[in-house]
């Protein structure tokens, strides 16, 4: 019998093979004994768009995926519009993605060179959207698992409060009052137009109020700031989620495939924050891809970065905090009653099957693909093995580092 080296068949081929009586099931490598049915998960809400959204420029791919930038003039001039955007985005849940990658090294010896060439080979690379696992069920009040935090003057929180560096006290005390605006920002705006925040922020706009300002007050400070180069950043975060527990469990499941390569599993927020830039020409240039990478390639960043730091007034005062787990006395309560062990158990059939199929396109698995992967794993378990043709490269151990002669 030959030793095939081609990758395993596609989903359609694997599904078709399950209906063929002549197909021999291969010896079982992954067997989730006593596995429970898939978790019943709530559907995430549709994302609300950000006006004039632009990609954020960074040398790190994870940062580019996590941050969105906008230079919409209205957002840096109209406090009500900025407040409504932040309030709306505060209700949008974080989008954590589970990144699963497997690699191994190939050392290629070259007779014409003194040193060997080391090449990293990608075995599988795909993502899973974890958003449904952090959402509360329909019978749970949302305000127990999410809140909007806004810094206050003198609260001791280290944050950008309209200055160049982080501070624990208010840096921006309305450098310039309403700049000749004869109408208050609340005039002409009915009570029904106010967008409520996640946990009902007091929404004050009075700097003289004890503990002020609230979200509206910070939006006013930003819009009324006379600085030409300024930015307002809104952030999201997830607290109480132990990614290492999920990573460890899924790594163990992947090892049962006899995979001997390097496994990289991480969790990234794809909507970690967005930044509102004032439409100053410096901000426009820094958000132009050609100018940004030109400054990176050439030594221009040694000049441009200090200039931006001196001119920019930064506001990072609002953050949406989503709880995955919280303490209730001696008990640890998880949102939806799903802890990290349940999540890892629910994802194990999907992750192992996708890795076995060598999905290496880096895409996020769709719900339909995840259902199909679970079904293939379940059918394989019922028949005593995975429903894929024999691949001796997999059985004898795949993904190991190797040396190839030149």
DSSP H or E run through 276: strand 273-277
Does residue 385 have a pLDDT over 70?
no
Residue 76 lies in a domain: yes
Residue 20 lies in a domain: no
Tell how far CA 310 is from the center of its chain. Answer: 31
What is the radius of gyration, based on Cα positions, of the chain?
A: 26
Q: 117 is in which domain, residue-wise?
A: 51-178+195-404
The larger pLDDT score, comparing residue 94 to residue 199, is at 94
Does residue 60 have a pLDDT over 70?
yes
CA distances from 35 to 103, 211, 398 (A): 28, 52, 26
Which sign does the torsion angle of CA 208, 213, 217, 223 carry? Answer: positive
pTM: 0.78
Residue 141 lies in a domain: yes
Among 235, 405, 254, residue whose Cα is nearest residue 320: 235
Residue 74 lies in a domain: yes
Choice among 158-172, 197-211, 339-353 with the minimum mean pLDDT: 197-211
Tell me the per-residue pLDDT of 288-343, one tens digit each, with 9 for 90 and over: 999 999 999 998 889 999 999 999 999 999 999 999 998 888 899 999 888 999 99
| Number of domains comprising the chain | 1
Mean pLDDT within 96-107 = 92
Residue 184 lies in a domain: no
Residue 26 lies in a domain: no
Residue 135 lies in a domain: yes
């Amino acid at each position: 019998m030959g030793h095939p080296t081609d990758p395993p068949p596609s989903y359609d081929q694997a599904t078709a093979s399950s209906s063929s009586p002549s197909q021999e099931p291969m010896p079982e490598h992954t067997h989730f004994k006593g596995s429970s049915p898939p978790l019943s998960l709530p559907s995430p809400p549709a994302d609300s768009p950000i006006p004039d959204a632009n990609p954020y420029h960074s040398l790190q791919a994870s940062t580019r995926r996590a941050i969105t930038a906008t230079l919409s003039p209205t957002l840096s001039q109209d406090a009500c519009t900025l407040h409504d955007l932040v309030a709306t985005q505060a209700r949008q849940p974080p989008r954590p993605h589970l990144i699963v990658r497997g690699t191994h090294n190939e050392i290629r010896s070259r007779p014409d060179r003194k040193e060997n060439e080391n090449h990293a080979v990608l075995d599988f690379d795909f993502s899973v959207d974890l958003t449904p696992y952090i959402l509360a069920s329909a019978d749970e009040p949302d305000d127990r698992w999410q809140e909007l935090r806004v810094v206050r003057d003198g609260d001791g929180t280290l944050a950008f409060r309209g200055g160049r560096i982080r501070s624990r006290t208010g840096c921006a005390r309305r450098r310039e009052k309403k700049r000749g605006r004869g109408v208050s920002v609340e005039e002409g705006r009915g009570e029904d137009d106010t967008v409520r925040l996640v946990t009902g922020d007091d929404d004050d706009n009075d700097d003289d109020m004890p503990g002020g300002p609230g979200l509206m007050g910070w939006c006013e400070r930003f819009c009324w700031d006379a600085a030409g180069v300024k930015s307002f950043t809104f952030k999201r975060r997830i607290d109480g989620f132990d990614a290492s527990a999920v990573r460890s469990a899924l790594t163990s499941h992947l090892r049962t495939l006899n995979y001997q390569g390097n496994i990289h599993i991480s969790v990234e927020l794809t909507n970690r924050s967005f930044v509102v830039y004032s439409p100053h020409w410096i901000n426009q240039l820094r958000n132009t891809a050609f100018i940004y990478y030109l400054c990176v390639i050439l030594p221009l960043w040694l000049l441009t970065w200090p200039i931006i730091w001196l001119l920019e007034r930064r506001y990072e005062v609002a953050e949406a905090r989503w709880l995955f787990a919280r303490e209730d006395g001696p008990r640890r309560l998880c949102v939806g009653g799903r802890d990290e062990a349940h999540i890892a158990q629910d994802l194990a059939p999907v992750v192992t099957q996708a890795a076995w199929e060598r999905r290496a396109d880096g895409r996020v698995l769709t719900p339909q693909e995840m259902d199909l992967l679970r079904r293939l794993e379940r059918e394989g378990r019922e028949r005593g093995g995975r429903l894929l043709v024999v691949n001796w490269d997999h059985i004898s151990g795949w993904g190991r580092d190797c040396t190839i002669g030149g």
